[in-house]
Amino acid sequence: MLINLIYIAASILFILGIKKLGSADTARSGNLLSAVGMALAVVATLFDRQILDFTWIFAGIAIGAVIGGVWAMRAEMTGMPELVALFNGFGGLASVLVGWAEFGKIQGQGWQKYLAASGGEVPDWFTTLAIALALIIGGITFTGSLIAWAKLSGRMGGAPTLFAGQKPLNLLLMGGILLASIIWVASPQAARAETLLITVVALSLLIGILGVIPIGGGDMPVVISLLNSFSGLAACAAGFVVLNNVLLVAGCLVGASGLILTIIMCKAMNRTLGNVLFGGFGATTGKTGAQVEGEMKALSVQDAYYVLEAANSVVIVPGYGMAVAQAQHACKELGVLLEKNGAEVRYAIHPVAGRMPGHMNVLLAEADVPYEQLCEMDDVNPIMPTVDVAIVIGANDVVNPAAAEDPTSPIYGMPIINVHEARSVFVLKRGQGAGFSGLVNTLFFRDNCRMIYGDAKSTLTSLVSEFE
């Protein structure tokens, strides 16, 4: 009874915490509230009468807290997407192990005693179904997040991995897991249950891997949001296994928030979720858009300085390239100097810039850019024609005018930041090659666009020294 009351308190703290995370002023205290909720839930659980031995519990908590704490404190802000993916994967695997452990408990005690302990009201097929769901969702979350982590941290190439028969194979695996689960749930007490459990776990781990390898780095914001949602749903399923309210409530909150982010990311790319997951973007469509005439015009840092010095309003558009070049601090320095020089400086951030939702905001916050200067796409586009210089740092597809103008382009219809409407555009880019998606960016061939080749960080640093 007391345990359940504490669980209610914990649920309230989670709800308040996640509500507060939705606003910049209250976000930090919201996170703290939800951490207190988690601590309450953990302490309450320790009073569970089923627990006979605390040795391994405290050992596990100590080991996990040290590892998690060290990783969290050491992580670079540019490495945030892969860290979140990794933590997410661990949450998924934890749900798998909880589901499996419950199965072990049932085998150890026998179904009769197990069901009697839960009040005798829950049928064996329901518990089995919940275990199967925890294993499947948790398993996919685990390996899917690991692949996402490998892609985001550069341990694995970011390009989609495609092979012949990929879709039929995936369908076959999904059919297999469905079949195994149905047989298992239909007769939970049969002797083959253990084999079925191992089959379900193995297939879900495989589906997680095969499901994420065909998805390109540029689509990672969608994938991590979706996997985030999955980790919540896996916790939910585990909640149905152990019949625990706080798991259900917290799991649902995470599941819903992840799903909302997924939808926002898909909208920002004008694509459906199915297209992101199964499209193998650019690689299977074969569409590359119309050919562009003209040439890209390079500009020296010194000439760029003369233009910037005379500018009254500047918009900086960061992308994943800024994260790669670790250029956020140099970028901020330039912004400060431009302001001192009398220009109005704004940072325009596309919802899918970078490799996770809000990636650029975190980097610029790390560099101490005040968040009032950060503008969302819809706020900055109307004023774009009045902007003197737009500086594009390591962004590509999100500023490609083909998305608005060329119906044959694969990204046609995706909302973009209209930098091409600014009086002049500077694009900081490493070389002449196409961007990550392999698309030609028609922006680069415009009359008002100049390319400044080189590493973004050193280009920005030289611009800064020109000003000084």
Residues 208 to 237 in contact with another protein, rule: CB under 8 A: 224-225, 228, 231-232, 234-236
Q: Is 116 in the site for another protein (CB under 8 A)?
A: no
Site string for another protein, 61-80 (x = CB under 8 A): x-xxx-xxx-xxx-x-x--x
- Decide whether 92 or 282 has the Cβ nearer to another protein: 92
Q: Which of residues 266-325 bind another protein (CB under 8 A)?
A: none
Cβ-based neighbours of 156, under 8 Å, separated by 6 or more: 147, 150
The Cα–Cα gap between 346 and 316 comes to 6
Q: Is 202 in the site for another protein (CB under 8 A)?
A: no
Residue 175 CB, nearest distance to another protein (Å)?
Answer: 27
User: Which of 5, 28, 113, 342 touches another protein (CB under 8 A)?
Assistant: 28
- Tell me if 207 sits within 8 A of 140, measured CB to CB: yes
- Decide whether 75 or 292 has the Cβ nearer to another protein: 75
User: Which of 93, 147, 392, 414 touches another protein (CB under 8 A)?
Assistant: 93
Residue 96 CB, nearest distance to another protein (Å)?
Answer: 8
- Supply 6's token pair: 């504490």
Q: Which of residues 361-390 bind another protein (CB under 8 A)?
A: 361-362, 365-366, 368, 370-374, 376
Comparing C-alpha atoms, which of 307, 220, 309 is closest to residue 266? Answer: 220
Query: What proportions of the chain, in percent to the nearest 5, are helix, strand and coil?
Result: 65, 5, 30
Q: Which of residues 126-145 bind another protein (CB under 8 A)?
A: 126
User: Which of 5, 169, 179, 260 touches another protein (CB under 8 A)?
Assistant: 260
User: Which of 131, 177, 193, 249 touches another protein (CB under 8 A)?
Assistant: 249
Secondary structure of residue 328 in the 3-state scheme: helix
Q: Is 409 in the site for another protein (CB under 8 A)?
A: no
- Supply 403's token pair: 């998305």
- Decide whether 65 or 310 has the Cβ nearer to another protein: 65
Q: Is 149 in the site for another protein (CB under 8 A)?
A: no
Cβ-based neighbours of 175, under 8 Å, separated by 6 or more: none
Cβ-based neighbours of 428, under 8 Å, separated by 6 or more: 321, 391, 392, 393, 394, 452, 454, 456, 459, 460
User: Which of 132, 150, 206, 246 touches another protein (CB under 8 A)?
Assistant: 246
Angle at the Cα of 313 (from 309 to 315), degrees rounded to 5? 105
Q: Is 378 annotated in the active site?
A: no
Q: How many CB atoms lie within 10 A of CB 283?
A: 15
Class of residue 268 by CB neighbours under 10 A (exposed 0-12, middle 13-18, buried 19+): buried
- Decide whether 259 or 395 has the Cβ nearer to another protein: 259
User: Which of 59, 116, 162, 171 touches another protein (CB under 8 A)?
Assistant: 59
User: Which of 4, 5, 42, 162 touches another protein (CB under 8 A)?
Assistant: 42
Q: What is the number of residues in the chain?
A: 468
Residue 422 CB, nearest distance to another protein (Å)?
Answer: 21
Comparing C-alpha atoms, which of 357, 356, 363, 355 is closest to residue 347? Answer: 363
- Tell me if 278 sits within 8 A of 439, measured CB to CB: no
How many residues bind to another protein according to rule CB under 8 A? Answer: 118
Residue 455 CB, nearest distance to another protein (Å)?
Answer: 24
- Find the helix packing angle between 220-242 and 80-109, rounded to 10°: 20
Q: Is 1 in the site for another protein (CB under 8 A)?
A: no
- Tell me if 421 sits within 8 A of 461, measured CB to CB: no
- Positions annotated as catalytic residues are 397
